[in-house]
Homo-oligomer: A and B are copies of this chain.
Amino acid sequence: MKLYINPNREEWPAIVSRRISSDEAVESRVVEILDKVRTGGDAALRELAQAIDGYTPESFVVSDEEFTRAEAEVSEQMKQALKSAAENIRKFHSAQRFEPIEVETAEGVRCIQRAVPIQRVGLYIPGGSAPLFSTVLMLAIPASVAGCPNVVMCTPTNKEGRVANEVLYAARMCGVQTVYKLGGAQAIAAMAYGTESIGKVDKIFGPGNRYVTKAKQHVSVGDTAIDMPAGPSEVLVVADHSAEPSFAAADILSQAEHGPDSQAILVCSSKEFADKVESEVQRQLALLPREAIATRALDNSRTVVLESVDEQIAFINLYAPEHLIILCREPWEIANRITAAGSVFVGAYSPESAGDYASGTNHTLPTSGWATAYSGVNLDSYMRKITYQELSREGLMGLANTIITMAEGEGLDAHAAAVKVRVGKENQQ
């Protein structure tokens, strides 16, 4: 990990910058795939599945038999783990339920805000070497709590045409009835535009590779909402001298194993502590099956020594980490001053993996500095808030002069007229 000792503020922007390579080849391939699916529907999906995944399912829909087999093949230990995690996730997301707000802003003027579930939601679950079934819980449980009536999931198969058992088991456990065997940019296209067999959705959620991410970006401009912009995963660990270096090292490595473009940042107050963490990282790294991936991620990773806590906090807020782990004696003194982070792990016994799987918080979080403006996935992500106003005749009378003055000031006379016609001022200029 590259070491920066007391860097001055002018250097910070370079240290916090994520190097995200833009790839013209990915861009043009994705545009081509989106176009094919939009115009070619199911036939295009079949062709693309064969060309890209090397497998075309007879039907994209996972059958009841496949669900049943998955249930039979998942171990009892895994079922118990999924059940425990799901309970916590459901509890925390249920607590986020929104109560309607009603205010009489002026006499006879009622303003109301209510949350209504998004009607058609599409979840994308990546496949690949390790199926991320935890993401099924994180995306499907809040959809269920929100009451979204139509929830579908797309996920790629392996070359034998199978979806991981845990993914199917988790999907059913969380109330997802329809799973399509479909991955990549073509899955995003199918959910954004709809085809003969796959219905268009209103919002797409979920992580993915560069093709999936780029496809989500494209459809978000004109077709379908998406959860948030995505980038490689990242963690910032801030530690004081009370911290156990082996804990900090383990947290850094659990980020690094995600992929070669993951990033871990350690912020601490002395080079001595930084050195201790570094040697723990090397020791633990050697024990990891994914050592090669983690080693490459560590090349992107940085240690920043900043002596003052104020400077540390300013640096963290500038970086706006997806995950922030606070290994300090008084962790809330820092946590309370954080203005930009996805999820915060407070104190020595709150590793990122707790939130990744089972504490109850969501693990779909803003990366690449987007925590400055985006929340992680939460119950709100599955709802829209609609406002309502109901004025009595007297209520409108009371506002009439205000509305008419402002509308005429903006040159919008028909806006004024819509009030005048109701309150008997139609002939008044």
Chain A residues with CB under 8 Å of chain B are 77-78, 80-82, 84-85, 87-88, 91-92, 95-96, 101, 103, 105-106, 109, 111, 113, 116-120, 129-134, 166, 202-203, 217, 221-222, 224-225, 229, 246-247, 250-251, 253-254, 256-258, 284, 287-290, 294, 317, 331, 335, 338-362, 370-376, 378, 380, 384-393, 395-396, 399, 401-403, 405-407, 409-419, 421-422
Contacts and interface: CB of A to CB of B under 8 A. Distances in A.
A405 B81 contact: yes
28 contacts: A81-B402, A82-B406, A85-B402, A91-B103, A92-B103, A95-B103, A105-B360, A116-B339, A117-B339, A119-B372, A130-B410, A132-B410, A202-B373, A203-B373, A221-B221, A246-B421, A247-B418, A254-B417, A284-B414, A288-B417, A289-B411, A289-B413, A290-B411, A344-B386, A346-B389, A349-B391, A350-B389, A361-B388
B116 A359 contact: no
Contact of A406 (B342, B350, B358, B417): B358
Contacts of A288: 413-414, 417
A77 B411 contact: no
Contacts of A350: 389-391, 396
A247 B88 contact: no
Given A96-B113, A247-B421, A360-B103, A407 B353 contact: yes
Query: How many copies of this chain?
Result: 2
A111 B89 CA distance: 10
A410 B134 contact: yes
A282 to B, nearest CB: 14
Contacts of A203: 373
Contact of A389 (B109, B359, B376): B359
Contacts of A390: 331, 346-347, 350
Contacts of A339: 116-117, 119
Contact of A414 (B81, B85, B290, B376): B290
Given A254-B412, A388-B346, A406 B221 contact: no
B111 A92 contact: yes
Nearest to A317: B119
A375 B385 contact: yes
Contact of A111 (B118, B134, B361, B402): B361
A308 to B, nearest CB: 20
Nearest to A362: B387
Given A358-B403, A399-B354, A406-B134, A372 B118 contact: yes
Given A109-B360, A202-B373, A284-B421, 16 more contacts: A77-B405, A80-B402, A81-B403, A92-B111, A116-B340, A133-B406, A134-B410, A247-B421, A284-B414, A294-B414, A341-B386, A353-B403, A357-B403, A357-B407, A357-B415, A380-B380
A120 B393 CA distance: 41
A339 to B, nearest CB: 5
A2 to B, nearest CB: 20
A344 B390 CA distance: 9
A425 B132 CA distance: 24
A371 B359 contact: no
A419 B386 contact: no
A175 to B, nearest CB: 19
A348 B395 CA distance: 12
A254 to B, nearest CB: 4
Contacts of A284: 414, 417, 421
B384 A340 contact: yes
Contacts of A116: 338-340
A348 B404 CA distance: 18
B103 A353 contact: no
Contacts of A335: 388
A419 B418 CA distance: 64
Contacts of A345: 388-389
Given A372-B202, A417-B254, A418-B254, A385 B380 contact: yes
